[in-house]
Structure 1
Amino acid sequence: MVALRSTDADDPVALRDALARALDGGPALGFGMLGEAPDRVPDGTAVVIATSGSSGIPKRVALSAEALRASAEATAARIGGGRWLLALPAGYVAGLQVIVRSLLAGTHPIALQGRFSPESFAESTLAMLRPSAHASGAIPELYTSLVPAQLSTLLEASADGPVLAALRAYRAILVGGQALPEPLRDRAADLGVRLVRTYGSTETSGGCIYDGTPLDTVAVRTVDGELRIAGPMLADGYLGDGELTAKNFSRDEHGIRWYHTGDLGLVDDGTVRVHGRADNVIVSGGINISLDRVERLVRRVPGLTGAVVVGVPDERWGEASVIVAARGDALRRSEAEQLAHARDIVADELGKHARPARLILVDALDVLLSGKPDREAIRRAVAELH
């Protein structure tokens, strides 16, 4: 057994040193460990991350040093290594992996000062480009990880020269945590910003599928329509919850260990296509509707690229979908026009039965500390309004 030390991840420099010790068999680090936390965890554990994602169900994911290293090494093999900007909370796996990748590259990550903003992003990035910031005087390749909401904020501010220059300075900007809306991806491409769409979870030590292609050490297959992932970066399981571990991890007839993602999708000639959560489905008029698929289509509508689609009870159909978007994102068109556009797109792709029933504009969407939409809070708020 190894000692477990809770940390708040506020100081990236101290965290880098503590994480280096954890990867080398030292005390394991615990993030977000609310309530009773054990003093010791199984040998080999480097990090325990308490996460509920957007579902509201708490989990304590135990990650080994081997898994974290395997993930970072596979990323470097795919996109290269260099210096990383830490723009996400280090207590979440995407932020934590920025530090792990930096350790393996022998570099120190640069953390944003204060809250995330286009100004702080540009200032931190441009500071990394100065030769005086590097001992050798040579400027390494730059990388960072963002969630779509952060990318959207930066693209909206890209008319500011320093912000666009900062975005273009990165060899790769990993974008994950949720689906990347097509308008954002297209806008970035038009501006010469190099994005890499990532798919993964805390249970896979972060992103393990890049632009639809699994990393070299990753295997993906589907079972009854659900995506399952195998590879050396899988978590050991859930601390103190053997039942949930057995439910979400299994071994096949060859002894290979697979993580059950809970996501529907398919593998088409080596390319992984994610359709959405298996449990994020409503039954409307007796027909199953994936809210994730509806949301991806809705986000094609100008002004709704950051929208969230949730399900609510409906007297006629049993359940219906509702679009929730930040009022500040609305463009010149009326709410009715935006809803009509969204309904037409969804009807064309999925059928009339899948059309959202309403569009609700709010001052701001509830988000988790990771930057992802807090879907449970949004769903509760809509249910109260409904």
Structure 2
Amino acid sequence: MDVQVVGVDGSPESVARLAAALRSALDGAGPAVLPVRARPGDEPPLPEPVARAAGAGALPDGLAVVVATSGSTGQPKHVALTGDALRASAAATRDRIGGPGTWLLALPAEHVAGVQVVLRALLAGTECVVQDVRDGFRPDGLVRATGRMPHGARRYTSLVPTQLARVLDHGSAPLHALAGYDAVLIGGGALDPGLRTRAEDAGVRVVATYGMSETCGGCVYDGVPLDGVRATIEPGSGRVVLGGPVVAAGYLGAPAATAEAFTADGFRTSDLGELGPDGSLTVLGRADDVVNTGGEKVAPAAVERALLSVPGVRGACVVGIPDDEWGQVVAALVVTGTDAPADPVLRSAVRDACGRAAVPRLLHRADAVPEHGIGKPDRVAVAALLAGLR
């Protein structure tokens, strides 16, 4: 068994090449696939941990896809996804959203969410229409790509919140096109309830997904685990643990990291969460994002939700920044529109929703929240920016 690096650059041609490689990997006729952002023919060599695992004969049985994580908390890890896990994920998604259909790829195909769009179409025997995103996502491009989809078939796509917001802000033809999809999966980051309401009011059939590379992408839809997926809360730490057939086989070339993250119960995420009486999952934010201010622990995600509930707030990112007296203080970067609410209104909303300790001591307005990966807030960049303003 071997691993092949396949370059994808956002073009339909490169995605077609990736799809062929994925089909061969799933059939067992070809090597496992590691998609990377590169022009076809200009691929880099195998990453050292992957090459080491392959050379030592330590690749998992049935390995089909290797996905590099974003590396937001350190060096990227290389997630080993088996054909069985990918098939289970695709089948559970198909059953949850209403059956097989045609998929539109508008995400970078080297990320797990993009790979999954290609695979869902491949495994369903339907077409994967590709929006050319070499120059970034454009709402007008969504219209043109949608126009190439066959009539009569169910239509699906997967976007990140930033893409959804751009379509809503643009309105007109792109919004009309998106409202014609039978399901629009939104993942890659927390979906602002206000953004969801705007989309649903415009007729977009939104499905909020939660998952990561280690679970073949989204495996919890609108708070409800897909069939076969288990969501539990680890006693003591409060971390979300995801189990079931969609869980990866570990990290290639990283046995210690694999042993820490993958247990008999499933994958130990870095997220804090809670389960409702009906078993639905609410994600509270990353464990390592928690702000400890004067001995009080504040979850940034909860503060962000409070800020985003205020009319006129279009985006928010909350972090902790060092403070000599309090250890850390809560700081917020806020994106507002023309009807920008005053700072006391924002602070009052946070106080009412989260308590006095969560009220941001520093509020800063910006045109956009810095991002990395596919629509994820870059908290390191935001913390550096806000710390520099003190």
TM-score calculated relative to the size of structure 2: 0.89
CA distance in 2, matches of 1:276, 1:226: 10
In structure 2, the partner of 1:267 is 275
CA deviation map 1:116-161 (0-9, x unaligned): 1111112211332xxxxx4xxx521100001111111111112x2x
CA distance in 1, matches of 2:219, 2:148: 30
Matched, 1:213 2:231: no
In structure 1, the partner of 2:22 is 19
Q: 1:351 aligns with which of 343, 355, 363?
A: 355
| Structure 2, gaps ≥5 residues long | 37-43
CA distance in 2, matches of 1:19, 1:109: 13
CA distance in 2, matches of 1:302, 1:22: 49
**Relative to structure 2, which stretch is displaced further, 311-320 or 60-69?**
311-320
CA distance in 2, matches of 1:96, 1:89: 8
CA deviation map 1:204-253 (0-9, x unaligned): 001111111111111111122222111101000111111111111111xx
CA distance in 1, matches of 2:217, 2:71: 13
CA deviation map 1:256-309 (0-9, x unaligned): x41111221122112111111122111111111111211222222334332211
CA distance in 1, matches of 2:338, 2:319: 22
Q: Is this contact kept in 1: 2:313–2:340, CA < 8 A?
A: no
In structure 1, the partner of 2:41 is none
AA aligned opposite 1:8? G
CA positional deviation for 1:318 = 1.7
CA positional deviation for 1:196 = 0.4
CA distance in 2, matches of 1:368, 1:186: 25
Q: 1:57 to 1:280 in 2, by over 3 A?
A: farther
In structure 1, the partner of 2:39 is none
Q: Is this contact kept in 2: 1:285–1:318, CA < 8 A?
A: yes
Q: 1:379 aligns with which of 366, 380, 383?
A: 383
CA positional deviation for 1:323 = 1.5
Q: What fraction of aligned residue pairs are identical, expressed as a percent?
A: 45
CA distance in 2, matches of 1:113, 1:250: 39
Q: Is this contact kept in 1: 2:60–2:80, CA < 8 A?
A: no
In structure 1, the partner of 2:79 is 61
Q: Is this contact kept in 1: 2:67–2:79, CA < 8 A?
A: yes
CA distance in 1, matches of 2:120, 2:273: 29
CA positional deviation for 1:57 = 4.1
CA distance in 1, matches of 2:373, 2:202: 28
Q: Is this contact kept in 1: 2:315–2:368, CA < 8 A?
A: no
In structure 2, the partner of 1:311 is 320
In structure 1, the partner of 2:205 is 194
In structure 2, the partner of 1:131 is none
**Relative to structure 2, which stretch is displaced further, 232-241 or 368-377?**
368-377
In structure 2, the partner of 1:301 is 310
CA distance in 2, matches of 1:163, 1:340: 36
CA distance in 2, matches of 1:363, 1:294: 19
Q: SS of 1:238's equivalent?
A: coil
In structure 2, the partner of 1:9 is 8
AA aligned opposite 1:267? L
Q: Is this contact kept in 1: 2:18–2:35, CA < 8 A?
A: no
Q: Is this contact kept in 1: 2:347–2:360, CA < 8 A?
A: yes
CA positional deviation for 1:371 = 2.3
CA distance in 1, matches of 2:296, 2:230: 32
AA aligned opposite 2:359? R
AA aligned opposite 2:255? G
Matched, 1:47 2:65: yes
Matched, 1:333 2:340: yes
Q: 1:298 to 1:53 in 2, by over 3 A?
A: farther
Q: Is this contact kept in 2: 1:200–1:207, CA < 8 A?
A: yes
Q: SS of 1:288's equivalent?
A: strand
In structure 1, the partner of 2:374 is 370
Q: 2:147 aligns with which of 88, 108, 126?
A: 126
Q: Is this contact kept in 2: 1:302–1:331, CA < 8 A?
A: no
| Structure 1, gaps ≥5 residues long | 129-133, 252-256
Q: 1:231 to 1:49 in 2, by over 3 A?
A: same
CA distance in 2, matches of 1:243, 1:17: 33
Please report the RMSD computed on the Cα atoms of aligned residues, expressed in angstroms.
1.9
CA positional deviation for 1:359 = 2.1
In structure 2, the partner of 1:283 is 292
The 5-angstrom pairing of residues 50-129 of structure 1 reads: 50-79=68-97, 80-114=99-133, 115-128=136-149
Q: SS of 1:127's equivalent?
A: coil
CA distance in 2, matches of 1:204, 1:77: 17
Q: SS of 1:377's equivalent?
A: helix
CA deviation map 1:184-215 (0-9, x unaligned): 11111211110001111111001111111111
CA positional deviation for 1:53 = 5.0
AA aligned opposite 1:306? G
Q: SS of 1:88's equivalent?
A: coil
List, as ranges, runs of 4+ consecutive aligned residues in structure 1 with deviation greater than 6 Å: none
